[in-house]
Amino acid sequence: MAFCSKLPLTFTALALIAFSSSALAEQPQPSRVRGAIQAVDGETVTIKSREGADVNLHIASSMGVTGVAKVALADIKVGSFIGATSVPEPDGTEKAVEVHVFPENMRGSGEGSQPYDLLPKSSMTNATVDRTKAAANDGQSLTLKYKGGEKKVVIGPDTPVVTFVPGDKSELKAGAQVIAFATKRPDGSLEARRMLVGRDGITPPM
């Protein structure tokens, strides 16, 4: 999969999904707006957020766009570097609610495990698949290893599994499912600096 000149934009978008470094932690962090594009009018995009609000975002001239494409659970192998958002189950296991497979040239992005804002009590773990074994109902149990720790997550057969591909602003159309990374401008309005766009009707699950 060739990322060529668009790799820096792709990397930055995924770095935002991952976890901020200690240096960035002192700066205002982008907020995530998840939802469907309602309209694009010149330099403004309107997103119907998953909470039901219409959010107007200014499109930054340098905004990077990354596509989110579906892949198969079988594409996850021992040695794959992945991100998994998971939630704790009553029996103590961690159930993956989404998995994103990083391209090889993004191995190591945001490595570690941290709280995440997708769902209550959810966390995101970016790590290398160390072991796999079959789980109930045709799922997979993965042991993920990262610097300083490991986590076991269970992926069900219906868990969304995606990867990242180069994208561009032409994909910003009404109906597209997106995650926008927005920062506040001096006048209080929001500006989209990065955006993930689902391909072929996919809703970016992370």
Q: In the chain, what percentage of residues exceed pLDDT 70?
A: 85
Mean pLDDT of 33-51: 95
Give the separation between CA 102 and CA 100, rounded to whole angstroms: 6
How many residues comprise the chain? 206
Q: Which of the 8 DSSP states describes residue 79?
A: T
Q: pLDDT per residue over 102-111, tens digit each?
A: 998 889 999 9
Query: DSSP string covering 3-52, please?
Result: -GGGHHHHHHHHHHHS---TTGGGSPPPEEEEEEEEEEETTEEEEEETTS
Q: pLDDT per residue over 155-197, tens digit each?
A: 998 999 999 999 999 999 999 999 999 999 998 899 999 999 9
Give the separation between CA 148 and CA 112, rounded to whole angstroms: 8
Give the separation between CA 97 and CA 158, rounded to whole angstroms: 9
Total Cβ atoms within 10 A of residue 147? 9
H or E element: which one contains 181? strand 177-184
User: What's the predicted TM-score (pTM) here?
Assistant: 0.81
Mean pLDDT of 57-65: 93
Residue 18: the pLDDT is 45
Strands 94-101 and 149-155: parallel
Q: Which of 140, 126, 125 is nearest to 73 (CA)?
A: 140
Strands 31-41 and 177-184: antiparallel
Q: Is the pLDDT assigned to residue 30 strictly greater than 90?
A: no
Strands 123-135 and 139-146: antiparallel
Residue 29: the pLDDT is 53
Q: In the chain, where are the structural domains located? A: 4-68+165-198, 69-162
Q: Which of the 8 DSSP states describes residue 52?
A: S
Choose the CATH number for 4-68+165-198 among 2.40.50.140, 3.40.50.300, 2.40.260.10, 3.40.50.150: 2.40.50.140
